Chains A and B, each alone.
Chain A
């Protein structure tokens, strides 16, 4: 398993971080069967917002990341810093049933030391036969001073190739943080 760093994007009060095949050295085609996106300390400008992603298929190039249907599951473990509660829950608020809005990857507070980190793997995005599977695990500082370890997985229910992916918070800018895109050969 060799990983190749394709692109590293660092936010600075950015509305989103987008990786678009063929733009700014980004490769997102059949060069690699698996792509990994590592999020490092994504910090929101607005408190209590959700970090999320959506894609564009090649038949919606340059589109608004609002037409690809996603079917997904979302569960998470949580534990308060003050030990008030801890649990493992399925979260119906963040799963998707063929929804076209952004898929939530976790929530973060905007205290100076709060952020979200994790990894998303996207499988065979250039396939024109299969849906596009993805798996994600994140850990984040919930605004309520809770550590949450979230596991999200699902598929983009589209047999058209995917070559653009966007990450953003549900409200406000990405104040800071880095997303690294790797190809896995």
Chain B
């Protein structure tokens, strides 16, 4: 196959991206077959908070996908020593206050050398939930220092199911407000067989900065 120098009279070297080209459209360029990398990992939305009270995702959670992945990127609190948390709305709810969630919560931590030598792995019985309709803690000790943040990932399974509870799992890495590394694992289920279509993330106190990306994994 000959090399392509120009596409529609535009030098290939001048083309930095082929944005908005679907795989089907991109199978041939000027009649030249091309092979594009498919990705069954679709970015649905990017939510960027800047001193926001919460990040609410209220579109894109439906039956299009049955595995949703949320990436949390450098969430920073306006208020020191607070807790990052979430709650959902079922399709018959509105105020993020009536979905019962049962969860587990455990963490490993290590102080920075300047703070001491404490380390450990523990189950956190004060931050798990037993059929709670309140916001569910995902990470605590979130700091408001300029370089302090949390990042992590959360999986949500089949939120549109009308049959099963909704399982979810999350892991975070944190540069905590007291200068320690925390690796936190939180999981559970939304004990509701009604479809879930809204999710809210916020800090227990004060506003937040940061980015949340929501992806869907292909169904077929």
Contact = CB atoms under 8 A, between A and B. Distances in A.
Q: Is the pairing of A and B real?
A: yes
Interface of A: 1-5, 8, 38, 40-41, 43, 77-83, 86-88, 112-119, 137-141, 147-149, 151, 178, 180, 182, 185
Contact of A41 (B39, B41, B131, B157): B157
Contacts of B122: 88
Q: Is the interface of A mostly helix, strand, loop or mixed?
A: strand
B165 interface: yes
B130 A83 contact: yes
B104 A147 contact: yes
22 contacts: A2-B41, A5-B218, A5-B220, A40-B157, A41-B161, A77-B105, A77-B187, A79-B102, A79-B103, A79-B128, A79-B130, A80-B102, A83-B131, A86-B125, A112-B163, A112-B193, A114-B165, A115-B164, A117-B157, A117-B167, A118-B167, A149-B104
A180 B219 CA distance: 8
A176 B38 CA distance: 28
Given A2-B37, A139-B168, 10 more contacts: A2-B39, A3-B40, A40-B66, A40-B157, A77-B123, A82-B130, A86-B128, A113-B193, A117-B158, A137-B169
Contacts of A137: 169, 187
B211 interface: no
B130 to A, nearest CB: 4
Interface residues of B, number: 41
A147 B103 contact: yes
B181 interface: no
B191 interface: yes
A2 B218 CA distance: 12
Interface string B22-43: 0000000000000001111100
Contacts of B186: 149
A38 B217 contact: yes
A77 B185 contact: yes
A88 B130 CA distance: 16
Most chain B CB within a 10 A radius of its CB, from A5, A87, A140:
A5
Q: Which are the 5 A-B pairs with shortest beta-carbon distances?
A: A149-B187, A77-B104, A83-B130, A5-B40, A117-B157
Contact of B41 (A1, A77, A88): A1
Interface in B125-140: 125, 128-131
Contacts of A41: 157-158, 161, 163-164, 167
Given A79-B102, A80-B130, A147 B219 contact: no
A137 B125 CA distance: 21
Contacts of A116: 167
Contact of B39 (A4, A38, A40): A4
Contacts of B191: 81, 113
Contacts of A88: 104, 106, 121-123
Contacts of A114: 164-165
Given A5-B40, A86-B104, A114-B164, A147 B187 contact: yes
B155 interface: yes
A138 B164 CA distance: 15
Contacts of B169: 118, 137-139, 149
A5 to B, nearest CB: 4
Nearest to A85: B125
Nearest to A7: B220
B67 interface: yes
Interface string B207-220: 00000000001111
